[in-house]
Protein backbone atom coordinates (compact mmCIF):
# COMPACT_ATOMS: atom_id res chain seq x y z
CA UNK A 1 0.00 0.00 0.00
CA UNK A 2 2.76 2.42 0.98
CA UNK A 3 4.66 1.57 -2.20
CA UNK A 4 1.56 2.28 -4.32
CA UNK A 5 1.05 5.64 -2.60
CA UNK A 6 4.69 6.55 -3.19
CA UNK A 7 4.42 5.63 -6.86
CA UNK A 8 1.23 7.66 -7.25
CA UNK A 9 2.80 10.67 -5.56
CA UNK A 10 5.83 10.39 -7.83
CA UNK A 11 3.60 10.32 -10.90
CA UNK A 12 1.66 13.34 -9.67
CA UNK A 13 4.84 15.37 -9.28
CA UNK A 14 6.51 14.32 -12.52
CA UNK A 15 6.55 16.80 -15.44
CA UNK A 16 3.50 16.26 -17.67
CA UNK A 17 3.79 15.00 -21.21
CA UNK A 18 3.12 17.51 -23.98
CA UNK A 19 1.42 17.38 -27.36
CA UNK A 20 2.27 19.06 -30.62
CA UNK A 21 -0.54 21.40 -31.62
CA UNK A 22 -1.38 23.19 -34.86
CA UNK A 23 -3.38 26.17 -36.07
CA UNK A 24 -6.52 24.05 -36.04
CA UNK A 25 -6.09 23.60 -32.29
CA UNK A 26 -5.91 27.37 -31.85
CA UNK A 27 -9.23 27.71 -33.67
CA UNK A 28 -10.71 24.95 -31.52
CA UNK A 29 -9.55 26.69 -28.34
CA UNK A 30 -11.16 29.95 -29.48
CA UNK A 31 -14.41 28.15 -30.31
CA UNK A 32 -14.49 26.54 -26.88
CA UNK A 33 -13.63 29.88 -25.28
CA UNK A 34 -16.54 31.53 -27.09
CA UNK A 35 -18.86 28.73 -25.94
CA UNK A 36 -17.75 29.19 -22.32
CA UNK A 37 -18.36 32.93 -22.58
CA UNK A 38 -21.87 32.44 -23.97
CA UNK A 39 -22.66 29.93 -21.23
CA UNK A 40 -21.38 32.19 -18.44
CA UNK A 41 -21.22 35.81 -19.63
CA UNK A 42 -18.91 38.04 -17.61
CA UNK A 43 -18.80 41.17 -19.77
CA UNK A 44 -20.59 43.36 -17.22
CA UNK A 45 -18.04 42.44 -14.56
CA UNK A 46 -15.19 43.36 -16.89
CA UNK A 47 -16.84 46.67 -17.80
CA UNK A 48 -17.25 47.51 -14.12
CA UNK A 49 -13.56 46.83 -13.52
CA UNK A 50 -12.05 48.11 -16.77
CA UNK A 51 -13.59 51.55 -17.08
CA UNK A 52 -12.88 52.85 -13.58
CA UNK A 53 -9.32 51.51 -13.91
CA UNK A 54 -8.76 53.08 -17.34
CA UNK A 55 -10.30 56.35 -16.15
CA UNK A 56 -8.10 56.43 -13.07
CA UNK A 57 -4.95 55.80 -15.10
CA UNK A 58 -5.89 58.40 -17.71
CA UNK A 59 -6.72 61.03 -15.07
CA UNK A 60 -3.48 60.39 -13.20
CA UNK A 61 -1.37 60.68 -16.33
CA UNK A 62 -3.23 63.77 -17.54
CA UNK A 63 -2.72 65.48 -14.17
CA UNK A 64 1.02 64.93 -14.40
CA UNK A 65 1.90 66.06 -17.91
CA UNK A 66 5.49 64.92 -17.58
CA UNK A 67 4.36 61.29 -17.57
CA UNK A 68 1.73 61.62 -20.30
CA UNK A 69 4.03 59.67 -22.62
CA UNK A 70 3.46 56.55 -20.48
CA UNK A 71 -0.26 56.32 -21.24
CA UNK A 72 0.19 54.24 -24.39
CA UNK A 73 2.85 51.94 -22.86
CA UNK A 74 0.60 51.43 -19.85
CA UNK A 75 -2.44 50.61 -21.99
CA UNK A 76 -0.43 48.31 -24.25
CA UNK A 77 1.28 46.73 -21.25
CA UNK A 78 -2.07 45.59 -19.88
CA UNK A 79 -1.57 42.45 -21.97
CA UNK A 80 1.44 41.64 -19.78
CA UNK A 81 -0.79 41.18 -16.73
CA UNK A 82 -3.75 39.82 -18.70
CA UNK A 83 -3.04 36.19 -17.70
CA UNK A 84 -3.38 37.22 -14.05
CA UNK A 85 -6.67 39.02 -14.74
CA UNK A 86 -8.01 35.89 -16.47
CA UNK A 87 -7.57 33.59 -13.47
CA UNK A 88 -11.26 33.53 -12.61
CA UNK A 89 -12.12 32.67 -16.21
CA UNK A 90 -9.87 29.60 -16.09
CA UNK A 91 -11.81 28.51 -13.00
CA UNK A 92 -15.15 28.87 -14.82
CA UNK A 93 -13.85 26.83 -17.77
CA UNK A 94 -12.48 24.20 -15.39
CA UNK A 95 -15.86 23.87 -13.68
CA UNK A 96 -17.74 23.64 -16.98
CA UNK A 97 -15.35 20.96 -18.21
CA UNK A 98 -16.00 18.99 -15.02
CA UNK A 99 -19.76 19.21 -15.57
CA UNK A 100 -20.30 21.49 -12.58
CA UNK A 101 -22.79 24.39 -12.58
CA UNK A 102 -21.23 27.77 -13.25
CA UNK A 103 -22.04 31.36 -12.43
CA UNK A 104 -20.08 34.55 -12.98
CA UNK A 105 -19.33 34.64 -9.24
CA UNK A 106 -17.22 31.51 -9.73
CA UNK A 107 -14.40 33.81 -10.86
CA UNK A 108 -13.73 34.29 -7.14
CA UNK A 109 -13.33 30.56 -6.63
CA UNK A 110 -9.65 30.93 -7.43
CA UNK A 111 -9.23 32.53 -3.99
CA UNK A 112 -9.81 29.07 -2.53
CA UNK A 113 -7.39 27.32 -4.90
CA UNK A 114 -4.87 25.01 -3.16
CA UNK A 115 -2.07 26.54 -5.27
CA UNK A 116 -2.96 30.13 -4.29
CA UNK A 117 0.55 30.92 -2.89
CA UNK A 118 2.16 29.80 -6.16
CA UNK A 119 -0.44 31.75 -8.14
CA UNK A 120 0.34 34.88 -6.11
CA UNK A 121 4.05 34.33 -6.72
CA UNK A 122 3.52 34.13 -10.47
CA UNK A 123 1.30 37.20 -10.32
CA UNK A 124 4.04 39.16 -8.55
CA UNK A 125 6.47 38.08 -11.27
CA UNK A 126 4.12 39.47 -13.93
CA UNK A 127 3.81 42.77 -12.07
CA UNK A 128 7.61 43.01 -11.96
CA UNK A 129 7.72 42.42 -15.73
CA UNK A 130 5.05 45.10 -16.22
CA UNK A 131 7.02 47.63 -14.17
CA UNK A 132 10.19 46.73 -16.07
CA UNK A 133 8.32 47.44 -19.32
CA UNK A 134 7.23 50.86 -18.08
CA UNK A 135 10.80 51.63 -17.03
CA UNK A 136 12.05 50.56 -20.48
CA UNK A 137 9.38 52.67 -22.22
CA UNK A 138 10.32 55.70 -20.15
CA UNK A 139 14.01 55.17 -20.95
CA UNK A 140 13.27 54.89 -24.67
CA UNK A 141 11.25 58.11 -24.53
CA UNK A 142 14.06 59.91 -22.71
CA UNK A 143 16.61 58.75 -25.29
CA UNK A 144 14.49 59.87 -28.25
CA UNK A 145 11.73 62.43 -27.68
CA UNK A 146 13.33 63.50 -24.42
CA UNK A 147 15.92 65.36 -26.49
CA UNK A 148 13.14 67.69 -27.71
CA UNK A 149 11.95 68.66 -24.22
CA UNK A 150 13.23 72.24 -24.53
CA UNK A 151 12.09 72.75 -28.13
CA UNK A 152 9.59 75.69 -28.10
CA UNK A 153 7.69 74.12 -31.01
CA UNK A 154 6.38 71.36 -28.73
CA UNK A 155 4.83 73.04 -25.70
CA UNK A 156 1.17 72.17 -25.90
CA UNK A 157 0.33 69.10 -23.84
CA UNK A 158 -1.19 66.07 -25.51
CA UNK A 159 -1.39 67.53 -29.01
CA UNK A 160 2.25 68.54 -28.89
CA UNK A 161 3.16 65.01 -27.83
CA UNK A 162 1.31 63.57 -30.84
CA UNK A 163 3.13 66.01 -33.09
CA UNK A 164 6.43 64.91 -31.60
CA UNK A 165 5.64 61.20 -32.02
CA UNK A 166 4.40 61.31 -35.61
CA UNK A 167 6.10 64.41 -36.96
CA UNK A 168 9.73 63.97 -35.99
CA UNK A 169 12.47 61.45 -36.69
CA UNK A 170 12.96 61.09 -32.93
CA UNK A 171 9.31 60.12 -32.55
CA UNK A 172 9.51 57.54 -35.31
CA UNK A 173 12.62 56.08 -33.71
CA UNK A 174 10.80 55.89 -30.38
CA UNK A 175 7.90 54.03 -32.00
CA UNK A 176 10.24 51.53 -33.62
CA UNK A 177 12.31 50.89 -30.51
CA UNK A 178 9.26 50.81 -28.26
CA UNK A 179 7.44 48.24 -30.34
CA UNK A 180 10.50 46.02 -30.71
CA UNK A 181 11.18 46.08 -26.97
CA UNK A 182 7.48 45.63 -26.22
CA UNK A 183 7.40 42.58 -28.46
CA UNK A 184 10.23 41.11 -26.43
CA UNK A 185 8.35 41.64 -23.16
CA UNK A 186 5.18 40.14 -24.67
CA UNK A 187 7.09 37.07 -25.88
CA UNK A 188 8.57 36.61 -22.42
CA UNK A 189 5.16 36.73 -20.72
CA UNK A 190 3.69 34.37 -23.30
CA UNK A 191 6.46 31.85 -22.69
CA UNK A 192 6.11 32.09 -18.92
CA UNK A 193 2.33 31.97 -18.64
CA UNK A 194 0.70 30.38 -21.69
CA UNK A 195 -0.18 27.29 -19.62
CA UNK A 196 1.27 27.98 -16.16
CA UNK A 197 -1.76 29.66 -14.54
CA UNK A 198 -4.25 27.04 -15.81
CA UNK A 199 -1.85 24.28 -14.72
CA UNK A 200 -1.65 25.66 -11.18
CA UNK A 201 -5.44 25.50 -10.96
CA UNK A 202 -5.60 22.05 -12.51
CA UNK A 203 -2.53 20.48 -10.83
CA UNK A 204 -1.81 22.42 -7.63
CA UNK A 205 0.73 19.81 -6.55
CA UNK A 206 2.97 20.75 -9.50
CA UNK A 207 4.23 23.95 -7.91
CA UNK A 208 5.37 27.22 -9.43
CA UNK A 209 8.65 25.95 -10.85
CA UNK A 210 7.09 23.05 -12.73
CA UNK A 211 4.22 25.20 -14.01
CA UNK A 212 6.61 27.77 -15.49
CA UNK A 213 8.87 25.01 -16.80
CA UNK A 214 5.92 23.32 -18.52
CA UNK A 215 4.89 26.62 -20.11
CA UNK A 216 8.42 27.11 -21.49
CA UNK A 217 8.43 23.52 -22.79
CA UNK A 218 5.08 24.02 -24.54
CA UNK A 219 6.45 27.09 -26.35
CA UNK A 220 9.67 25.26 -27.27
CA UNK A 221 7.72 22.27 -28.60
CA UNK A 222 5.23 24.40 -30.56
CA UNK A 223 7.08 27.61 -31.57
CA UNK A 224 5.01 28.48 -34.64
CA UNK A 225 1.55 27.82 -33.12
CA UNK A 226 2.59 29.73 -29.99
CA UNK A 227 3.80 32.66 -32.10
CA UNK A 228 0.47 32.55 -33.95
CA UNK A 229 -1.37 32.50 -30.62
CA UNK A 230 0.55 35.55 -29.46
CA UNK A 231 -0.37 37.34 -32.69
CA UNK A 232 -4.04 36.37 -32.29
CA UNK A 233 -4.07 37.72 -28.75
CA UNK A 234 -2.40 40.99 -29.81
CA UNK A 235 -4.79 41.55 -32.74
CA UNK A 236 -7.91 40.77 -30.71
CA UNK A 237 -6.79 43.05 -27.87
CA UNK A 238 -6.14 45.83 -30.37
CA UNK A 239 -9.53 45.41 -32.02
CA UNK A 240 -11.22 45.29 -28.63
CA UNK A 241 -9.48 48.50 -27.57
CA UNK A 242 -10.37 50.59 -30.63
CA UNK A 243 -14.00 51.45 -29.79
CA UNK A 244 -13.11 53.17 -26.48
CA UNK A 245 -12.04 49.82 -24.95
CA UNK A 246 -15.65 48.55 -24.98
CA UNK A 247 -14.76 45.46 -26.98
CA UNK A 248 -12.34 44.31 -24.28
CA UNK A 249 -15.33 43.33 -22.16
CA UNK A 250 -15.89 40.50 -24.64
CA UNK A 251 -12.38 39.91 -25.97
CA UNK A 252 -10.78 39.42 -22.55
CA UNK A 253 -13.22 36.76 -21.31
CA UNK A 254 -13.11 34.83 -24.60
CA UNK A 255 -9.31 34.83 -24.63
CA UNK A 256 -9.23 33.79 -20.98
CA UNK A 257 -11.52 30.82 -21.55
CA UNK A 258 -9.67 29.91 -24.75
CA UNK A 259 -6.36 29.85 -22.88
CA UNK A 260 -7.74 27.16 -20.57
CA UNK A 261 -8.68 25.02 -23.57
CA UNK A 262 -5.31 25.66 -25.18
CA UNK A 263 -3.72 24.30 -22.01
CA UNK A 264 -5.89 21.20 -22.27
CA UNK A 265 -4.84 20.68 -25.87
CA UNK A 266 -1.12 21.18 -25.25
CA UNK A 267 -0.66 19.31 -21.94
CA UNK A 268 -1.53 15.63 -21.60
CA UNK A 269 -3.81 14.86 -18.68
Instruction: Compute the Cα dihedral for 210, 215, 219, 221 and give only its sign.
Output: positive
pTM for the full predicted model: 0.83
User: How confident is the model over 168-222, as pLDDT tens digits?
Assistant: 888 888 889 999 999 999 999 999 999 999 999 999 998 999 999 999 999 999 9
Please give the pLDDT value at position 77: 82
Contacts by residues 75-80 (CB-CB < 8 Å, ≥ 24 positions apart): 75/241, 76/182, 77/130, 77/133, 77/134, 77/137, 77/182, 77/185, 78/237, 79/186, 79/189, 79/233, 79/234, 79/237, 80/126, 80/129, 80/130, 80/133, 80/185, 80/186, 80/189
Domain ranges of the chain: 28-266
Instruction: Compute the Cα dihedral for 111, 114, 117, 122 and give only its sign.
Output: negative
User: How confident is the model over 219-236, as pLDDT tens digits?
Assistant: 999 999 999 999 999 999
User: Burial letters for 19-54: b for 16+ Cβ neighbours within 10 Å, e otherwise?
Assistant: eebeeebbebbbebbebbbeebebbeebeeebeeeb
- Helix 223-241 crosses helix 207-221 at what angle (to 10 degrees)? 100
User: How confident is the model over 15-62, as pLDDT tens digits?
Assistant: 899 999 999 999 999 999 999 999 988 876 666 666 566 666 666 655
Please give the pLDDT value at position 157: 53
Amino acid sequence: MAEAMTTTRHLDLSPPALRRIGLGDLRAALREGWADFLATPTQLMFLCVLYPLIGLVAATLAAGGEVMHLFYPMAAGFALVGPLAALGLYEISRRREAGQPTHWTDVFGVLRAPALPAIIGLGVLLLVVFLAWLWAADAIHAATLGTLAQDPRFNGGGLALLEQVFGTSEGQRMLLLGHVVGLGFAALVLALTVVSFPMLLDRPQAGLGQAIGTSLRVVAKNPLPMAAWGLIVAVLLLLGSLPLFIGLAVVLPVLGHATWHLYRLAVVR
